[in-house]
Amino acid sequence: MATLSNDRKTLTVQAVDVHRAKMLLEAGEAVLIDVREDIEYEDEHIPGAAHFPLSTFDSLRPEGDSGKIGIFHCRSGRRTAENFARFLETGYREVVHMDGGIVDWSIAGYPVRSEDDAPEDGACRPGSAAA
C-alpha cells in the first residue's frame, strides 16, 4: 500500500504482490488489466490479460466484470500506482495495482508470452475482455 498526495487530496493505493494476484486470478475472483502501451504489450504480456493502454484508457473497462477485482499492471508498478485514481472509476468491486508489474511476475516464474510465441486466438488483443 502506498500513499500519493497532491494539493487537494491524499489517495491510498491498494497493491497486491504477484503471488496474491495470481491466486486471485486462478480463483476467478479478479481480472488482470495491462495498461502498458502497444509496443510493450507486443514485446511480452501475461496470457489472458486484457490490454487497455494507459494513453487511451479513459473509462474503458472489460464488460461484465464489475463483480470482480480489477488488478491493473504495467512494467514495474510505477505507472499503475501513479494513475490509480483513474482506475477507481472503472466500476470493479475493488481496484488494486500489481506491485512489481510484469517484471516481478516474470521473475516469479509465472508465464509471459511474446508475439513471437505460438499464435493466439485473439484473447489477448488490444481491447480484449479476456481474463
For 63-92, the DSSP string reads TT-TTSEEEEE-SSSHHHHHTHHHHGGG--
Task: Please tell me whether the overall predicted TM-score, pTM, comes out greater than 0.85 for this model.
Answer: no
Residue 120 has pLDDT above 70, yes or no: no
Domain assignment of residue 66, yes or no: yes
Domain assignment of residue 117, yes or no: no
Domain assignment of residue 43, yes or no: yes
Q: Are the beta carbons of 80 and 101 closer than 8 angstroms?
A: yes
Domain assignment of residue 91, yes or no: yes
Residue 80 has pLDDT above 80, yes or no: yes
Q: Are the beta carbons of 81 and 43 closer than 8 angstroms?
A: no
Domain assignment of residue 119, yes or no: no
At 69, phi and psi to the nearest 5?
-85, 130
Domain assignment of residue 20, yes or no: yes
In angstroms, what CA-CA distances link 108 with 17, 21, 42, 71?
10, 12, 21, 17
Task: Name the CA radius of gyration of the chain, rounded.
Answer: 14
Summarize pLDDT for 41-60 with one digit per residue, the tens: 999 999 999 999 999 887 65
Domain assignment of residue 61, yes or no: yes
Domain assignment of residue 73, yes or no: yes
At 16, phi and psi to the nearest 5?
-130, 150
The domain that holds 85 is classified in CATH as: 3.40.250.10
Q: How many domains does the chain have?
A: 1
Containing structural domain, residue 75 = 15-107
Residue 40's identity, in one-letter code, is E
